[in-house]
A and B are shown apart, each in its own frame.
Chain A
């Protein structure tokens, strides 16, 4: 269903933050804010839940560590044990010191890459993805606040105008 949204343009991060607080205080739901650079504290002001991406990274790291241990145990201890430099491959734990570098590297490898892949998928970033910012200037110096209007357009517009928006657009959105 087509709904009406209002785009309020701001040219300053401080004004944007004040505006977000004002709009929030007036009990309106802010659909989205598009920024050219990270504005610290904006996620809290908008009431966004904290991101859990760091937790996923920790879990991926644990996975990498386990994979490296299973892999080296199979290769060096189970499948083809050798006596290298007078250090026979009897058990994983006895030979573990030599495996530490690879265990560390694989932990980092998994934690970093899988986290970045998770980030790209969650934020819908990949090659040939079309950008969805409402205005070309939002990657330069303008901030856009998107609010859905439910028949209260005039009220919203006067509220937004009082927050220091430099441009207010209302448009249909599918």
Chain B
């Protein structure tokens, strides 16, 4: 038998009195509810930024790369900075879901879904930059090794830029299937809760007909594990290869063997910071504070602090090695970085990336939501400047002092960057409204070991499962109506048997809800209410409840009575808020 034991010293990962059904309700709520004003406001801003970006991209492609701020000395600047920045952000998702899965870190389950979504969306942004930079993006397929019409020319497999093509496309596509496979059971949950036919259709389509057989789950778990094993070296390889774009060149400041680990650490650093930014907002907006707890924020802060320290070590090592190498060009590149005309960018990078995460050593600070949010944004600003410093300061003063220059971006450079931020948020906001943002099936599987309700039960020495009922509800296809009849008779018997109290209550129930007159009133389809199946509807009808109007009048007093009468799923009516749902249906009809 599966053991749900977890040391009592571990803090619960799911707060509140949550059972399996509560998890479904909470995770489905943002998808089933309506978008509020703030969502529309933020979405409009993001959409406007995206449109501005599209304008800038169209201008670049129709006019030429000359519309950017590049010059003959600094011939690679904002585009590649943005590319590396976005790819770096795209590292946390796979890291959280793959590496933390291999290490069996249960806290990943609250954040992996959104982190993976963020990964995919930011890699899409990253991919845009090389394609735009090609100048003629409709020829982007030339990077693929296909026999072509221009003679037997092939792509160059010695070039790190081509390795990048392979690395990024493998990473994007593998992350996508990893994400989608994990989504299947959760889409299925939303599919089976959906009441409107359109939503039912869409979620049936995207859930690929997930059924949840024991064999499916066995394969599902194995596939997740193997994908995690494949994705872990993959995620490390991607930023390693991105760093090769620089490290295999002969430019002082780029030609550095420390680049691969240093870039990977930086990528994890900025990726976690972006996850932190997004999830601090999301837990509030989607009411997920029970799942994404302060403990999750603290753990992410610790990862940010550690990777920030690794990045800091790398900066200092770079400086030391430049001095120790004895190569004057190398020495000058680093001296110029820190004290040259771009000293302010270097200082910004050092403060944001090395100094700011160090305050996380204080427990009070790393458990503060406001400070975590600010630091997460500061870190991403710092990481953008890190790439800018590496790229621009290494180029702007090259071997030939006569060609030394400065770089300044044009409005087109800035427009495209803002456009990708807009695009990213458009995708993420749409995701937050239509996808199950937490891997609910996984959360349910750890609920008994790490949920607060079950931790309390265990501490009290009580069993973790409901007591076994002696008389299950038996139904046969042929005689469902008879069974219901019997059930109601039984209920009525009980009511009359225990005459005074319960009998009065049963009458009370109808008295307070109003009676149903078949001649004047029309019976509603009560099954539309979540939590009411055909069975429950039949039971309610037998009691005398036929309309939404009656259900909408139910309060906790009536729920209790109903529970006493039916004995099924105590407390469910209240948790699903039948009255509230019925009220909606009533006003809609």
Contact = CB atoms under 8 A, between A and B. Distances in A.
Interface of A: 8-9, 11-15, 17-18, 21, 32-43, 46, 48, 50-51, 53-54, 57, 61, 71-72, 75-76, 79-80, 82, 84-85, 87, 95, 98-99, 101-102, 104-106, 108-109, 111-113, 115-116, 119-120, 122-133, 136-141, 157, 160-161, 163-172
Contacts of A163: 468
Interface string B170-189: 10011001100100110011
Given A112-B178, A124-B209, 17 more contacts: A14-B448, A17-B2, A33-B214, A36-B20, A39-B445, A57-B226, A101-B244, A108-B233, A115-B226, A119-B181, A125-B216, A128-B205, A136-B192, A141-B19, A164-B469, A165-B472, A168-B474
A79 to B, nearest CB: 6
Interface in B219-241: 219-223, 225-227, 230-231, 233-234, 237, 241
17 contacts: A12-B465, A13-B448, A17-B1, A36-B189, A37-B445, A38-B220, A39-B214, A80-B152, A101-B166, A102-B162, A102-B163, A119-B181, A123-B215, A125-B208, A139-B210, A141-B21, A164-B468
B90 to A, nearest CB: 16
A160 B475 CA distance: 13
A40 B444 CA distance: 12
A51 B211 contact: no
Interface string B459-493: 00001111011111111110000000000000000
Interface in B192-214: 192-193, 204-214
Contact of B212 (A34, A51, A102): A34
A61 to B, nearest CB: 8
Contacts of B162: 102
B520 interface: no
Contact of B471 (A54, A72, A161): A161
A69 B44 CA distance: 49
A131 B204 contact: yes
A32 B206 CA distance: 24
B441 interface: yes
A133 B192 contact: yes
Given A116-B223, A165-B472, A139 B217 contact: no
B584 interface: no
B316 interface: no
Contacts of A136: 192-193, 533
Give me the 3 closest cross-chain CB pairs, A-B, nearest first.
A129-B209, A164-B468, A141-B20
Interface in B139-185: 145, 152-158, 160, 162-163, 166-167, 170, 173-174, 177-178, 181, 184-185
B390 to A, nearest CB: 21
Counting chain B CB atoms within 10 Å of each CB, the highest count among A36, A87, A131 belongs to: A36
A132 B472 contact: no
Interface in B38-89: none
Contacts of A133: 188, 192, 211-212
A123 B2 contact: no
B237 A104 contact: yes
B250 to A, nearest CB: 10
Contacts of B173: 109, 113
Contacts of B157: 72, 75-76, 98-99, 102
Contacts of A18: 1
A164 B475 CA distance: 16
Contacts of B336: none
B442 interface: yes
A131 B209 contact: yes
B209 A38 contact: no
B455 interface: no
Q: Is the interface of B mostly helix, strand, loop or mixed?
A: helix
Contact of A87 (B158, B219, B477, B533): B158
Nearest to B25: A140
Interface of B: 1-2, 4, 19-21, 24, 145, 152-158, 160, 162-163, 166-167, 170, 173-174, 177-178, 181, 184-185, 188-189, 191-193, 204-223, 225-227, 230-231, 233-234, 237, 241, 244, 440-442, 444-445, 448, 463-466, 468-477, 533
Given A37-B442, A161-B471, A115 B223 contact: yes
A166 B566 CA distance: 13
A80 B472 contact: no
Contacts of A38: 217-218, 220-221, 441, 445
Nearest to B215: A48
B472 A167 contact: yes
Contact of B218 (A48, A124, A125, A166): A48
B62 to A, nearest CB: 34
Contacts of A15: 465-466, 468
A160 B476 CA distance: 15
Contacts of B211: 34, 131-133
A140 B572 CA distance: 13
Contact of B21 (A72, A125, A140): A140
Given A14-B2, A116-B223, A122-B219, A36 B241 contact: no
Contacts of A116: 177, 181, 223, 227
Contacts of A33: 213-214
A111 B469 contact: no
A129 B241 CA distance: 39
B218 A43 contact: yes
Contacts of B476: 169-171
Counting chain B CB atoms within 10 Å of each CB, the highest count among A82, A105, A141 belongs to: A105
A161 B475 CA distance: 12
Contact of A113 (B156, B177, B468): B177
Contacts of B214: 32-35, 39, 42-43, 46, 48
